[in-house]
Structure 1
Amino acid sequence: MRVLCLVTIVVFLATDVSAIWNAFDIEYWRCVMKKTDICPDKDIKFYLYTRATGTRRLRIDVRNHRSLEYSGYDPMKKNVLIIHGFNGTESKRPMTILRDAYLSRNDYNIFTVDWRPLAKFPCYLSALSNMKLVAQCSAQMYSFIMENGGDARETTCVGHSLGAHVCGMISNYLDVKQHKIVGLDPARPLINRYGDRYFRLTKDDAHQVQVIHTNSGILGEVNQVGHIDFCVNGGKMQPGCKGHILRRSRCSHFQGACYYAVTVRNKNAHLGQPCMGTCPKQGSDWNLLPGKPIPMGEDTPFGARGMYCVDTHSTTDCPFE
């Protein structure tokens, strides 16, 4: 069963000819599995983006107590920590789409976590193992922000796929619970079978945990994970994703980042209607419940609870790399 799961992951993610061709390269299979718990780590980098610097990233070094000051950090603004998932990086779409959405505002310090060497394709199993160190070092960064004037009540961790679970795991290394976490289609493969509550995103990891499901049951988690979950367009396959089923699944898995980015730019962009707590939904019947619609994403009311169904009316594919 373990081999089957791993093969399934590889098939889903190797959707282009170059990836298949690279499989014959020995270097391609040299995975990095960390066996240390020492932070900071050279393979885990933190960057700060501000409205003043635009897309020019500035690396933050927690060993330099003036690193944030020199990089243009403003303690009067809110903070967001963006964490990519497997086979990703902070400098690839759709993470850059999410980053740029925050840059369009003037009220955020935008921090990104880049753990690309520890999450590269095809090394899914080692990426799972490395999540613990990434979470530990990210918690160190989180604490560094707080020590330099950051407000925990104005700080959000936004993670995609495995990055969503890293956001949750950060709380294992903090004395105080995080205020808000947004999980963008938290990863399901192997985590659904072997991940305990310390190894996955749960509602215990922050005072508000919001989850957006876009490929539920395949690459993403099923049913309600956080305090409030949004099952988007049925939760399984997104209407803007075209092509064969493998590409549609991968595309749908990334789509949540773009849906969320829209809500960062535009207030109340996507509204959710209360519905039954299962996700994905079967067929066109979403089991809607009576109640007031609420906005998904950036403007979701704090304290909101339950499962909400969202129809984005979108037929546009979210670009990803």
Structure 2
Amino acid sequence: MRVLCLVTIVVFLATDVSAIWNAFDIEYWRCVMKKTDICPDKDIKFYLYTRATGTRRLRIDVRNHRSLEYSGYDPMKKNVLIIHGFNGTESKRPMTILRDAYLSRNDYNIFTVDWRPLAKFPCYLSALSNMKLVAQCSAQMYSFIMENGGDARETTCVGHSLGAHVCGMISNYLDVKQHKIVGLDPARPLINRYGDRYFRLTKDDAHQVQVIHTNSGILGEVNQVGHIDFCVNGGKMQPGCKGHILRKCEEV
């Protein structure tokens, strides 16, 4: 069955016009693997969205102690830190769905982490390596928020895929444990086999760790990760989703 899946994937790539075209693009294969532990980093950006600014993002610079004030940050409101995963960005779905859901309320400062240059396709291995720096710089941003009036008990880190594990890793760089983390389909490839507790999301990373499974299997974590795990419609396949070639292989 594994051989059949491998052949199926190869055929899929061979018949995917965009994959063939990109294969001849040098930039497509130019992966970025960070070898530094210095924050802030030019490839990791932080943005703030508020009810007043809507979908217009404002860049936050932790080197400017008035950056939050100038961006409309309200220390009386709750905070949410949203982190995308592999081959993602903060300005596209599903991150924008999360952002807009919080924007529909009036009691949140919405921070997003964009580490797109370090998580681009097909550079999964380098993205795994870069997670440590992303977590470190995100922890710096978290501390910056706390220093400017933020309340840890009113702050939630929401991460998707690799971003869920980054949320957990942030705690490695904080003196005080985070209050709440929400992991959306924490990534599984390689992490399930090689990632220790410092490199993946666990219930030890915050006082409340909630995990929502919608794509568990080859790509998403299948085990219980948090204090409470929600398996939506069984946690593997959602109504209306046709599924990816990898999902079909898993079913075989």
* TM-score using structure 2 length: 0.92
Aligned residues: 252
Displacement of 1:24 in angstroms is 2.0
Whether contact under 8 Å (1:83, 1:160) holds in the other structure is: yes
Distance 1:239 1:73 in 2: 38
Distance in 1, matches of 2:180 and 2:246, equals 32
Query: Secondary structure of 1:14's match?
Result: helix
- Taking the aligned partners of 1:239 and 1:90, their CA distance within structure 2 comes to 25
Structure 1 residues 200, 12: closer, same or farther in 2, change over 3 A?
farther
The equivalent of 1:13 in structure 2 is 13
Provide the alpha-carbon RMSD of the alignment: 4.1
- Give the Cα–Cα distance (whole angstroms) in 1 for the partners of residues 71 and 198 of structure 2: 33
**Partner deviation per Cα, 1:53-79 (whole Å, 9 max, x = no partner):** 000000000000000000000000000
Distance 1:89 1:61, change over 3 A: same
1:243–1:196 CA distance, 2 compared to 1 (3 A): closer
Deviates more, 1:93-102 or 1:125-134: 93-102
1:183 corresponds in structure 2 to: 183
Distance 1:212 1:149 in 2: 30
Once the two structures are overlaid, the 10-residue window that deviates more, 151-160 or 233-242, is: 233-242
| Displacement over 6 Å in runs of 4+ | 1-15, 318-321
Q: Which residue of 1 aligns with 2:250?
A: 319
**Bigger Cα displacement from structure 2, 213-222 vs 84-93:** 213-222
Q: Report if aligned partners of 1:93, 1:320 keep a CA contact under 8 Å in 2.
A: no
Identity across the alignment (%): 98
Q: Which runs of 5+ in 1 are unaligned?
A: 249-317
Residue 165 of structure 1 deviates from its aligned partner by 0.1
Distance 1:9 1:198 in 2: 32
C-alpha distance in 2 between matches for 1:62 and 1:7: 48
- Cα distance in 2 for partners of 1:15, 1:206 equals 44
Of 134-143 and 95-104, more deviation after overlay is shown by 95-104
Structure 1 residues 247, 34: closer, same or farther in 2, change over 3 A?
same
Q: Structure 1 pair 73/210, CA: closer, same or farther in 2 (3 Å)?
A: same
Shift of 1:238: 1.3
- Secondary structure in 2 matching 1:212: strand
Q: Is the 8 A contact 2:179 2:207 kept in 1?
A: yes
Change (3 A) 1:63 1:88: same
Shift of 1:236: 1.1
Question: What is the aligned partner in structure 2 of residue 22 from structure 1?
Answer: 22
Check 1:107–1:13 CA distance in 2 against 1; reply closer, same or farther (3 A cut). farther
1:73 equivalent in alignment to 2:4: no
Indicate conservation of the 8 Å contact 1:89/1:95, yes or no: yes
- Measure the CA separation in 2 of the matches of 1:208 and 1:42: 31
On the 8 A contact 1:185/1:214 being kept in 2, the answer is yes
**Greater helix content:** 2
Measured at CA, do residues 243 and 30 of structure 1 come closer, stay the same or move farther in structure 2, by a change above 3 Å? Answer: same
CA 1:178/1:244 → structure 2, altered by over 3 Å: closer, same or farther?
Answer: closer
Q: Evaluate the alpha carbon distance shift between residue 8 and residue 199 of structure 1 in structure 2; reply closer, same or farther with a 3 A threshold.
A: farther
Secondary structure of the residue that 1:188 maps to in structure 2? coil
Q: CA-to-partner distance for each residue in 1:37-60, whole Å, 9 max, x for gaps?
A: 000000000000000000000000
Secondary structure at the counterpart of residue 15 of structure 2:
coil
Structure 1 Cα separation of the partners of residues 250 and 5 of structure 2: 26
